[in-house]
Structure 1
Amino acid sequence: MATPGVNKTAKDVMHQGAECIGEHDNLRMAAQMMRDLGVGALPICGDDDRLKGIITDRDIVIKCCAEGKDLEQTMAGELAHGLVWVAADTSVEEALNKMEEHQVKRLPVIENHRIVGMISEADLAKELPDSKLAEFVHRIYARA
């Protein structure tokens, strides 16, 4: 029996078709997109269709709502952070290491200079052996 996740690439395990929020779109639109797509994070893409960062639902709450900022006036690009990504042909092991190193729970996957998907904890849960998944979760949440 083959070991789950072995010899697989980021493209093999990612959730395909990540939708971007534009860097000039406001946070109300970002929140509505997250709600409609059932996701907790969106990649932020620039006018050049290139990845600029990621925005999470937590970012909107902590860095906008809690600070008394206006969701209509605050642009997604203002909260862009975490320009951490992997190439589509990166091994799952290397992607996992990058997520642990940067303490991120979601990782954009890039192919031909465009975002083609995202790797999340749920994607990893489907692919990794339980022991490897437990180790990853411990490392990500240990510093949180």
Structure 2
Amino acid sequence: MGTSGVGKTVQDVMHKGAACVGENESLRRAAEMMRDMSVGSLPICGEDDRLKGIITDRDIVVKCCAEGKNLDTTTAGELARGLVWVDAHTSVEEALQKMEQHQIKRLPVIDNHRIVGMVSESDLAKELPDSKLAEFVHRVYAPA
């Protein structure tokens, strides 16, 4: 697998330059952005350019489509969930602990109060030895 991740920070392993969907934009727009960028989640930013939450493709399907809501009138902000994030200078180990604690697979990365990237389980997994990776996967995917 990868190295131990010792000494590395989230900014060393994150995907830089995450695009936000606006909190007042429709879920159809969010889905189009996900499709065009080949991603499964987007940070949601307010008009003040601050992080308001995160939305996943699954959120759109389960909380909008399956509930019979309109993709064109339901906004990303209505489905904003969990304001869990990490600072760009957070260690890889601390980010893993936060993901395990909240059982999440993606984290927005903040620097100077602005989103600068996203870090995923796969980004962090590359930095883990096999034994630590197995433990992480078990904790993140364990039933709540």
Same fold (TM over 0.5): yes
Matched residue, 2:75: 75
Matched residue, 1:40: 40
Q: Does 1:53 align with 2:53?
A: yes
Structure 1 runs not aligned, ≥5 long: none
Matched residue, 2:21: 21
- Over the residues paired in the alignment, what is the CA RMSD in angstroms? 1.2
Between the aligned partners of 2:36 and 2:58, the Cα distance in structure 1 is: 16
Give the residue type in structure 2 aligned to 1:25.
E
Q: Does 1:119 align with 2:119?
A: yes
Matched residue, 2:136: 136
CA displacement at 1:4 relative to structure 2: 3.0
Between the aligned partners of 1:129 and 1:140, the Cα distance in structure 2 is: 17
CA displacement at 1:35 relative to structure 2: 0.4
Between the aligned partners of 1:41 and 1:131, the Cα distance in structure 2 is: 28
CA displacement at 1:131 relative to structure 2: 1.5
Between the aligned partners of 1:14 and 1:133, the Cα distance in structure 2 is: 17
Between the aligned partners of 1:103 and 1:139, the Cα distance in structure 2 is: 7
Matched residue, 1:97: 97
Between the aligned partners of 1:45 and 1:134, the Cα distance in structure 2 is: 33
Between the aligned partners of 1:18 and 1:133, the Cα distance in structure 2 is: 25
Q: Residue 100 of structure 1: SS of its match in structure 2?
A: helix
CA displacement at 1:30 relative to structure 2: 0.3
Between the aligned partners of 1:60 and 1:36, the Cα distance in structure 2 is: 16
Give the residue type in structure 1 aligned to 2:81.
H
Paired-residue identity, %: 77
* 1:24-76 residue CA offsets vs partner (Å, 9 max, x unmatched): 00000000000000000000000000000000000000000000000000000
Q: Residue 90 of structure 2: SS of its match in structure 1?
A: coil
For normalisation by structure 1, the TM-score amounts to 0.96
For normalisation by structure 2, the TM-score amounts to 0.96
How many residues matched?
Answer: 143
